[in-house]
Amino acid sequence: GENVEQHPSTLSVQEGDSAVIKCTYSDSASNYFPWYKQELGKGPQLIIDIRSNVGEKKDQRIAVTLNKTAKHFSLHITETQPEDSAVYFCAASTNTGKLIFGQGTTLQVKP
């Protein structure tokens, strides 16, 4: 069935370093890949997304890459700041619209 695997489950970096979170999806019909940031007590917040006809997308300090052949997509955060500390979720969607989420990555940025 549909599945999204996300790694690592926890990630600790020093302020200013880069952070990379990787996801693998199973459904080859997936065509939309959003990333969400969830802070404690809040709902998931969309931070960046990529569609299947694009290989890479960048928005300031965050970027996402997609390898359709390998069914991999990754989130890259550069120059991390303490306020980047949160749980990050990847997700995949087909034309059904429903999001299949990864298990989440807890990112800690140490000052």
Partner 1 sequence: DSGVTQTPKHLITATGQRVTLRCSPRSGDLSVYWYQQSLDQGLQFLIQYYNGEERAKGNILERFSAQQFPDLHSELNLSSLELGDSALYFCASQPGGRSYNEQFFGPGTRLTVL
Return residues touching partner 1 (CB under 8 A): 31-32, 34, 36, 42-46, 49, 51, 89, 91, 93-104
**Quick one: 63 or 99, whose CB is closer to partner 1?**
99
Residue closer to partner 1 by CB (options 10, 18) is 10
Rounded Cα–Cα distance for residues 79 and 19 (Å): 9
- Closest approach, Cβ 15 to partner 1, in A, equals 27
Tell me how far apart the alpha carbons of residues 64 and 58 are, in angstroms, rounded to a whole number.
Answer: 6
SS3 82: helix
CA distance 18 to 83: 14
Q: Which is nearer to partner 1, 45 or 81 (CB)?
A: 45
